Amino acid sequence: MSKGKIFQSLSGFYDVISDGKIYRTRARGNFRKKRITPIVGDDVEFESSSQDEGYLLKVFDRKNALVRPPIANIDQAVVVTAATQPEFSNNLLDRQLVALEISKITPIIYFTKLDLLSTEQIQYFNEVKKTYKNIGYTVIMADKDNKSLNELSDLFVNKETVIMGQTGAGKSTLLNKINPELKLVTGEISSALNRGKHTTRKVNFIKINDGLVADTPGFSSYDTFDIKSDDLRNYFPEFKRNANKCKFRGCVHINEPKCEIKRLLEKNEISQNRYKSYLQLYDILKNKKPVYNKKK
């Protein structure tokens, strides 16, 4: 028996990396009975007669996991965000950040396609960068002299990183620039739909700069989260660190008197766009109908 990490998942096979070698495995039949679905990033126990044939015996507890893409035990996520084509959405970025906060995954925001912007638009994105940096997020802006690529690559060392973002934002293009040998397939934007064609078909890790990086299927929208509306405030870091100054302990920063978040908002010390995202997500969660599982 050996221990390793699922490196790639494809058509019922799980490639496990262990001591620098890759072993192809399948899940034991009792996994299905126990409703265990192994995913990329899982730490596992396995046995093998060769590197081409083996079986997973156990999936260890995960420290975190994402549903889209299905990947586990991630240290950080690069949220690749196009400045244009598809058009930038504060709300979509904020949803992605909330999803990562819930999963306890450190976000890194990477803006692409800045070369397509006017000087005025560049100034706008410099302000956007300032907003998210002030919250405490790492924000990197793509540039022509590859400083941004080096800055990003340095963050991969000894980490397990997922590259995520809206379809067409440039995830595979970004990884190809960091490591041209990858030759990942990239897709063109459909101008009619203003969304990209899905080009990544599987979830797998790639070794880059002493770290493991996953290129993942893109998405055109973002699902809501399995949290209560009143808990949403805890996943906006700038709200959480100032909430102790609100008059009421359970303040959700909407209609309560003497709310510190509303005060900071009036002084423009908290982003109006972030607050709009918060209100919209709060309403979605508040109005979400419960799902009753009738299976026994």
173 is in an annotated binding site: yes
29 is in an annotated binding site: no
251 is in an annotated binding site: yes
265 is in an annotated binding site: no
112 is in an annotated binding site: yes
Which run of H or of E encompasses 77? strand 76-82
113 is in an annotated binding site: yes
171 is in an annotated binding site: yes
Question: At 49, phi and psi to the nearest 5?
Answer: -90, -20
Helices (DSSP H) in the chain: which residue ranges? 30-33, 90-102, 119-135, 147-154, 171-178, 237-240, 260-266, 272-287
168 is in an annotated binding site: yes
Q: Which residues of 260-295 are buried (b: 16+ CB within 10 A; e: fewer)?
A: bbbebbeeeebbeebbebbeebbeebeeeeeeeeee
21 is in an annotated binding site: no
Rounded Cα distance, 288 and 237, in Å? 24
Rounded Cα distance, 49 and 46, in Å? 10
116 is in an annotated binding site: no
* Alpha-carbon distances of 283 from 100, 228, 229, 267, 276, rounded to whole Å: 20, 11, 8, 24, 11
114 is in an annotated binding site: yes
166 is in an annotated binding site: yes
167 is in an annotated binding site: yes
253 is in an annotated binding site: yes
DSSP conformational letter for 166: B
Question: Residue 56 corresponds to which tokens in the numbers above?
Answer: 């997973």
Q: Which residues belong to the annotated binding site?
A: 112-115, 165-173, 246, 251, 253, 259
Q: Which residues belong to the annotated binding site for GTP?
A: 112-115, 165-173
Q: Which residues belong to the annotated binding site for Zn(2+)?
A: 246, 251, 253, 259
